Amino acid sequence: MVELNGTLLAQIVNFLLLVAILAKFAYKPLMQGLADRQQKIADAIDTAERERREAEQLKLEYKQYLVEARAKAQSIVETAEKLAEENKEEILKSARAESAHILQKAQEEVIRERELALSQLRSEVVALSMAAATKIVKEKMDTELNASIVSDFIEKLDDEKIGGLPC
């Protein structure tokens, strides 16, 4: 069998003593370091996962903000287009009214000029009639002569003087 001598026994005691010392001074700190490292890794993983979730949440929020911003921009564009169309219609309406007003004034001016021309023509016809009447009165007063003078007077009043308008 196995002999137990002093050397073997001393080696066993030394080994056990070394294991106890290593357990006390090396194993516990080594295990504590491993546990700390394992905890740091777990914390880092948890932090990374939490930050990933937060980033995903921010991404969703930014997408929502982007959708809202696009909708708001579209609304602003539509409002601007609507206002532009209303302004266009108002400008056209104003231009039409101004055009009608200018046309009406022009027509009134034409009527006024026509009335003035007719008035001047009537004055001229009256003056010519008075001249003819004076001439008739100065001449001897017979019916044939009067008819002849009136006929001559009417022939002198051609379309150029009276413009084809009734007096």
Taking a C-beta distance cutoff of 8 angstroms, is the pair 120, 145 a contact? no
The amino acid that residue 149 corresponds to is I
Torsion of CA 39, 40, 46, 51, to 10 degrees: 170
The pLDDT assigned to 102 comes to 94
Q: Which of 49-53, 103-107, 163-167 is predicted with the least confidence, judged by mean pLDDT?
A: 163-167
Q: Which of 74, 69, 167, 81 is nearest to 125 (CA)?
A: 167
CB 157 within 8 A of CB 128: yes
Residue 134: per-residue pLDDT: 77
pLDDT range class, residue 73, cuts 50, 70, 90: very high
pLDDT, tens digit (0-9, with 9 covering 90-100), for 80-91: 999 999 999 999
Query: Mind giving me the DSSP string for 19-41?
Result: HHHHIIIIIHHHHHHHHHHHHHH
Judge whether 122 and 166 are in contact, CB under 8 Å.
no
- Domain ranges across the chain: 25-158
**Mean per-residue pLDDT of the chain:** 86
Report yes or no: 118 and 165 within 8 Å, Cβ to Cβ: yes
Residue 151 CA to residue 115 CA, distance in Å, equals: 27
Q: Is this prediction's pTM over 0.85?
A: no
Comparing 43-52, 56-65, 93-102, 114-123, the range with the smallest average pLDDT is 114-123
